[in-house]
Amino acid sequence: MNRKINLLELSTQEFVKFLNQNHIRKFYFVYNKKLKKIISSHKLLNPIADFINNDKRDFNFHEGMFFQITKKYDTLQSAFIHRTNRGQAAGGVRFWAYNNVEDFFRDGLRLSKGMTHKNALAGLWWGGGKGVMAQNTNFNIKDPEIRNSIYQEYGEFITSLNGCYVTAEDVGTNVNDMANIFSKTRFTTCIPFNIGGSGNPSIPTARGVVAGMKAALNFLSGDTLKGKTVAIQGTGNVGTPLIKYLFDEKVKKIIACDIFESNVKKLKSEFRNKNLEVHLVDKNDTSILKVDCDILAPCATGAILNSKTIPEIKAKIICGAANNQLEDPIKHDLEIFKRKIIYVPDFLTNRMGIVNCANEQYGYVNDDQFIERHLEQNWNHSIYQTTLKVLSESKKTGKPTGNVAVHLADKLSKENHPIFGHRGEKIIESLIINKWHEKI
């Protein structure tokens, strides 16, 4: 009976039901070096292992993937561990409503690989990982009691993984959720400021975007931001400080847009003496991408750079904070390159979120050099230097910038941590030997 079910097509709730019927509360998929393939904890789940093994798009020899169904509120929770040579797999936990099991797995595979690249390119001694949780529509996830319980169980789950994955905040997860995770595990960053966390990273993120823009301009024409026109999509936590920093750099004009009237009004008042043009737009309005400007900064949502928008872009440089700006990371990277527009890859320029919280456990000092050096021009791994490196290599090899950045990040991600070596892999091996999935 079960064999006939296509597990990947099930909704995440149907999948949870299927797991419950088969008394599976915890399960895993790990890469077996001898067999050179992903193996699963339960035979019944082999079709998912086969799907992962055969996938060319999102699977990239991920070291391990661990899952649980929460004891209360039947929520599917996970930790995708891509690569841990540089250290424990680090990346935030996303709480999202997925269409089906395949979407859930694809998101975890893709996002965890992305974190490996972001962390390695930033020169952080962290591997790459991501938590993904599927919202269960049978429960009101805004109810504080339900929400606290889901995130506390996630904290317990993270503890059970013995430190191969260190979680953080991501889409759908808030500061209070992080406090709930922290109440059950030490393996987390991005904890609230009032209990020793590093606080909102948006200001350093905006400064990181400015560093990327400066490098791109220097590369393009030996020029600076002075006198330039910049278009910004999205004036939220990052977009707003970005406007301030760009005016500090003496740009000539900023054209910005947002979908919330309150944001637009606030900006008009805050920058009334500056040359800022700010528009209220509909969420499907992409006219900001067509404006005449030197630099386009996507700071709202992902997938904004696609076959429909790319031909209309007038900017010479694209450099912004939004995650996953390219709708298709290969096809649209190439389309932009062919248009001779410089694209500074998002995971290079928006790294300051993870940089800001990555080393929380080491305490804080004024003008912390472990944060500031990412924003300076001379450190080898700084946003500025890495952008220059990627743009030069792209020019030399005739390859699009996203492709070059991924290649560079991939190489760096295979360097072993100078003290701990490839310890994440050892932790995963221990979990399997100790039959992690049977410990409920």
Q: Show the binding pattern over residues 110-149: x = contacts ligand NAD (CB under 6 A), - = does not.
A: ----------------------------------------
Q: Which amino acid is at 177?
A: D
Residue 395 annotated to the active site? no
258 binds ligand NAD (CB under 6 A): yes
By beta-carbon distance, which residue lies closest to ligand NAD? Answer: 236
Contacts of 194 (CB under 8 A, 6+ apart): none
In the numeric block, which tokens belong to residue 402?
Answer: 């996203």
SS3 label, residue 50: helix
234 binds ligand NAD (CB under 6 A): yes
Rg (CA), the chain: 22
Of 11-19, 22-30, 142-150, 252-260, the segment contacting ligand NAD by CB under 6 A is 252-260
DSSP class of residue 421?
A: B
Nearer to ligand NAD, 183 or 286 (CB): 286
Minimum CB distance to ligand NAD, residue 202 (Å): 4
Distance CA 232, CA 300 (A): 9
In the set 26, 130, 214, 389, the catalytic residue is 130
259 binds ligand NAD (CB under 6 A): yes
User: Which of 211, 231, 267, 299 forms a contact with ligand NAD (CB under 6 A)?
Assistant: 299
Nearest to 189 by CA among 350, 360, 362: 360
Q: What is the 3-state secondary structure (H, E, C) of 176-208?
A: HHHHHHHCCCCCECCCCHHHCCCCCCHHHHHHH
Nearer to ligand NAD, 257 or 305 (CB): 257
Distance CA 386, CA 388 (A): 5
Q: With contact defined as beta carbons under 8 Å apart, do 440 and 25 qualify?
A: yes
Nearer to ligand NAD, 243 or 321 (CB): 321
Nearest to 402 by CA among 332, 350, 313, 314: 332
260 binds ligand NAD (CB under 6 A): yes
User: Which of 128, 155, 353, 402 forms a contact with ligand NAD (CB under 6 A)?
Assistant: 353
How many other β-carbons are positioned within 10 Å of the β-carbon of residue 47? 15
Nearer to ligand NAD, 74 or 258 (CB): 258
- Indicate the Cα dihedral angle 206, 209, 214, 215, nearest 10°: 150
Minimum CB distance to ligand NAD, residue 112 (Å): 16
User: Which of 46, 60, 135, 301 forms a contact with ligand NAD (CB under 6 A)?
Assistant: 301
350 binds ligand NAD (CB under 6 A): yes
205 binds ligand NAD (CB under 6 A): yes
Helix (H) or strand (E) holding 131: strand 127-134
Q: With contact defined as beta carbons under 8 Å apart, do 172 and 95 qualify?
A: yes
Minimum CB distance to ligand NAD, residue 312 (Å): 15
239 binds ligand NAD (CB under 6 A): yes
Contacting ligand NAD within 30-59 (CB under 6 A)? none
Q: How buried is 420 (Cβ within 10 angstroms: 0-12 exposed, 13-18 middle, 19+ buried)?
A: middle
Q: Which amino acid is at 305?
A: L
User: Which of 90, 281, 357, 427 forms a contact with ligand NAD (CB under 6 A)?
Assistant: 281
User: Which of 148, 159, 224, 237 forms a contact with ligand NAD (CB under 6 A)?
Assistant: 237
Size of the site for ligand NAD (CB under 6 A): 25
How many other β-carbons are positioned within 10 Å of the β-carbon of residue 338? 10
Minimum CB distance to ligand NAD, residue 241 (Å): 9
Of 32-40, 90-98, 161-169, 237-245, the segment contacting ligand NAD by CB under 6 A is 237-245
**Alpha helices (H) along 83-225:** 101-121, 144-160, 175-182, 202-221
Of 93-101, 150-158, 317-325, 395-403, the segment contacting ligand NAD by CB under 6 A is 317-325
The footprint of ligand NAD (CB under 6 A) covers 201-202, 205, 233-239, 257-260, 263, 281, 283, 299-301, 321-323, 350, 353
Active-site amino acid positions: 130
